[in-house]
Amino acid sequence: MTPPPRQLSPLVTALNDLTPEQLSRFSRHIILPGFGREAQRRLLSARVAVVGAGGLGSPILLYLAAAGVGTIGIIDDDTVEASNLQRQVIHSVRDVGRSKADSAREAVLTHNPEATVNLHPIRLNAQNALDILGGYDLVLDGSDNFTTRYLASDAAEILNIPCVWGSILRFTGQVTTFWNVPNDGRLGVTYRDLFPEPPAPGTTPSCAEGGVLGVLCATIGSAMATEAVKLITGVGTTLLGRVLHYDALSGKWREFALERDPERVPVTQLEEDEVTCSLPPETAHEPDCAPEPATAGTLPRTHAWTARELAHALQHRESSVDAWQLIDIREPAERDIAVIPGSRHIPLTDFSAGNATQLLPHDAPVVLYCHHGVRSAHLLADLERAGFTQVHHLTGGIESWSRTVDDSVPRY
């Protein structure tokens, strides 16, 4: 049974009065029943931290700026890539290669020149999270990895500030509000009540591997911004204790109850467990110079091949049926975007269904590759347990191949 919605007291105290220009600009807010000048003043006095200036961060930042939030902190250490533009609407083509934090700040100030924008162009970690988030009234977590999600929620629990969380993957999204001890005197919930334990590394696909419907970011990001406005002003009821799930294909919203785990140990200090959905580009692990060419009889012995090692091995691969095989385990839609020449396609789903292992040779080497090297690493381990002894995989996946061997191969 879904718990009753919780209407909380306003999070932020209204400070300065509105100027004539602000009365005009925010008039559509002010005339709302139950909103008025006081709620708008609270928005102008609010300090909001946004983790991530990407798919979710884009609509969050733009709508918070337009709503008149006085101080906005942008936490992002990434740079804009062309593949971001399909969903990260705060950036444009001219921003490719720029810092996402810088690009987002420019867009925020374009919408609201009176806003104070604090840039934190670093990755949130156990050492800096409390210092950064401690300067804000609430945090909106638009990150795309489990490590940062746990950090943001844990830091918010220690600081006892609300954390509005959202996530998206493929055609679905979720949104809720976490707050350890809300201002209504009742205990609240945190991310660890929703997900007590992180998933095993690589078991959950990232947006880069699973894909994401671009417009879904607007739906979930706007819902997160709405939660922030309600928390700041005290208008309406929050999602605390309720998780909204949206299926874009059916257009249906579903609501789930979220209760506090009475056995959960409170978080009193930050710890950083590396939990990844995907691996970063492997360029940092590439050798400084190319290895000696691998002849047909001298393939790399390690189970993890770099892109350069694979390139040299392909250059000298024998054409006989007994030669080693390069297997692309990505989904068909991914192969339509980019492919390493000379590879054979056996999707990971075929292995999961148990239909593909008989297609692999037991007496010849096999090299697996995927997008970033996560799925191939897990399949390698599974195949070794099944008795395959000559299985290898490409670290960094086709992303590493494009970055270090052939930049004409599209990155996605």
Note the pLDDT tens digit of each residue in 253-298: 999 999 999 989 999 999 876 555 443 333 333 333 333 333 334 4
pLDDT of amino acid 386: 86
Across the chain, what does the average pLDDT equal?
88
According to DSSP, the residues that pair with 139 across neighbouring strands are 49, 163
Q: Which of 163, 217, 277, 370 is catalytic?
A: 370
Q: Which of 207, 217, 277, 289 is catalytic?
A: 207
- For residue 84, which phi and psi values (nearest 5 degrees)? -75, -30
CATH 3.40.250.10 positions along the chain are 304-405
H helices of 89-238, where?
100-111, 129-133, 146-159, 191-194, 207-210, 214-233
Predicted confidence (pLDDT) per residue in 338-352, tens digit = 999 999 999 998 888
Mean pLDDT of the region 46-57: 98
- Averaging pLDDT over each range in 64-78, 299-313, 350-364, which range is the top one? 64-78
What distance lies between CA 211 and its chain's CA centroid? 12
Judged against a pLDDT cut of 80, whether residue 393 lies above it is answered with yes
| Tokens 């708008």 found at | 40
pLDDT of amino acid 358: 81
pLDDT of amino acid 317: 72
> Closest Cα partner for 116 from 200, 48, 209, 27?
48
d(CA 228, CA 72): 12
Judged against a pLDDT cut of 90, whether residue 19 lies above it is answered with yes
Per-residue CA distances from 134 to 94, 271, 378 (Å): 34, 17, 38
CB count in 10 Å sphere of residue 317:
17
pLDDT of amino acid 128: 97
CATH 3.40.50.720 positions along the chain are 20-257
d(CA 285, CA 184): 51
Q: Which tokens in the block code for residue 85? A: 């533009």
Angle between helices 100-111 and 57-67 (to 10 degrees): 30
pLDDT of amino acid 201: 59
Can you say whether residue 356 is alpha, beta or left, with left for phi > 0 and alpha for psi between -120 and 50 degrees?
alpha
Predicted confidence (pLDDT) per residue in 151-175, tens digit = 999 999 999 999 999 999 889 999 9
Q: Which tokens in the block code for residue 403? A: 């970055």
Active site residue 207: yes
pLDDT of amino acid 209: 63
Q: Does this model's pTM top 0.85? A: no
Active site residue 277: no
Could you tell me the fold of the domain covering 304-405?
Answer: Oxidized Rhodanese; domain 1 (3.40.250)
For 20-257, the fitting CATH number among 3.10.580.10, 1.10.10.60, 3.40.50.720, 3.90.650.10 is: 3.40.50.720
Burial (CB count within 10 angstroms: exposed 0-12, middle 13-18, buried 19+), residue 25: middle
